[in-house]
């Protein structure tokens, strides 16, 4: 294989030069390939859709994690749905206030292979005693668990194949059920320039369960199409509107070094351009 082509959007594709294929196999749930590239380093794709690269993973993982945790404050218990590469888990555990990070991943093969081929991304997070790794269906877990979480982070694939159920109204209701008072749900929500319907659907479905729901953005180079939207759900409007000064104080106290996230970026990420905010009026 000299090239890998991702055709996620109709009439448009991105192509990677492949220097070496490290793994390629159909798992119980999806087609999984890991390969080396000269531009983005090591890449993993599921069902022919790029999930993570070693060069730009920090953008996505930092914004999915530090925005809800620092907005909420005093977070001790975090649930991660998906996230088999361990990047979200790594960033969650950088917060010393976190006493337990429960990670529910449906595909054990993803976790095993990522620990083998993407050890730098998880950076030992799976060995942290605060980690509780559960191989199970995330929808089933949030519907049945008796635990309660301050933050839930849904690091899912797009709503295709195994990830489709993680974009349903019943799943969002399940997440709401197992959040603490004022707890926050954040979700991966695609690139609205190409996937505007995902924003429309998520906004409608999440709004059935949360008093305050919306989106914030990040730019991840390999998630082609410009801004990526990250879904936000909470019952306390004050959490989304926390001031930059409070965020700065919490960030300083956390003593975390980042490459993308800052309190100022946090605040600015909720300012949506009209082409995205217009989708919320539908």
The pLDDT tens digits of the residues spanning 58-80 come to 999 999 999 999 999 999 999 99
Read off the pLDDT of residues 131-190 as tens digits, 9 standing for 90 and up.
999 999 999 999 999 999 999 999 987 766 666 778 899 999 999 999 999 999 999 999
Considering Cα of 55, then 59, then 64, then 66, what sign does the dihedral take?
A: positive
What is the CATH number for 86?
Answer: 3.40.50.150
Point out the catalytic residue in the list 155, 158, 235, 278.
155
138 in the same domain as 10: no
The dihedral over CA atoms of 200, 202, 204, 205, expressed in degrees to the nearest 10, equals: 150
Domain membership of residue 33 as a residue range? 3-53
Q: Do the beta carbons of residue 188 and residue 154 sit within 8 Å?
A: yes
CB-CB neighbours of 271 under 10 Å? 9
Q: How many domains does the chain have?
A: 2
213 in the same domain as 228: yes
Kindly state the DSSP code that residue 259 receives in the 8-state scheme: S
> Which tokens belong to 129?
């005693």
End-to-end CA distance of the chain: 43
> Last residue of a domain, which of 13, 36, 53?
53
Helices (H) and strands (E) in the chain, counts: 11, 13
pTM of this structure: 0.95
Report in angstroms the alpha-carbon separations of 140 from 105, 174, 183. 11, 9, 20
Q: Is residue 155 annotated as a catalytic residue, yes or no?
A: yes
250 in the same domain as 122: yes
9 in the same domain as 133: no
> Last residue of a domain, which of 53, 76, 91?
53
Read off the pLDDT of residues 23-32 as tens digits, 9 standing for 90 and up.
998 887 789 9
> Which tokens belong to 110?
């993803």
135 in the same domain as 37: no
68 in the same domain as 39: no
């Amino acid at each position: 294989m000299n090239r890998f082509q991702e055709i996620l959007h109709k009439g448009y594709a991105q192509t990677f030069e492949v220097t070496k294929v490290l793994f390629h196999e159909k798992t119980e749930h999806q087609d999984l390939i890991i390969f080396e590239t000269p531009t983005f380093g090591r890449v993993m794709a599921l069902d022919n859709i790029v999930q993570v690269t070693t060069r730009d993973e920090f953008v996505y993982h930092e914004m999915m994690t530090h925005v809800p945790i620092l907005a909420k404050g005093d977070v001790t218990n975090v649930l991660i749905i998906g996230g088999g590469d361990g990047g979200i888990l790594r960033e969650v555990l950088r917060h010393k206030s976190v006493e337990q990070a429960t990670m529910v991943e449906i595909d054990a093969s993803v976790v095993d292979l990522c620990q083998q081929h993407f050890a730098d991304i998880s950076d030992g997070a799976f060995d942290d005693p605060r980690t509780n790794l559960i191989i199970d269906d995330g929808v089933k877990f949030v519907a049945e668990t008796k635990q309660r979480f301050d933050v839930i982070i849904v690091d899912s694939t797009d709503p295709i194949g195994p990830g489709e159920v993680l974009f349903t109204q019943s799943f969002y209701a399940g997440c709401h059920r197992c959040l603490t008072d004022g707890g926050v749900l954040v979700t991966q929500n695609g690139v609205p320039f190409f996937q505007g319907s995902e924003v429309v659907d998520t906004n409608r479905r999440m709004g059935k369960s949360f008093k305050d729901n919306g989106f914030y953005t990040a730019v991840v180079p390999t998630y082609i199409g410009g801004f990526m939207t990250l879904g936000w759900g909470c019952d306390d409007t004050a959490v989304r509107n926390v001031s930059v000064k409070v965020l700065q104080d919490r960030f300083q106290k956390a003593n975390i070094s980042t490459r993308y996230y800052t309190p100022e970026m946090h605040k600015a990420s909720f300012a949506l351009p009209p082409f995205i905010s217009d989708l919320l009026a539908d």
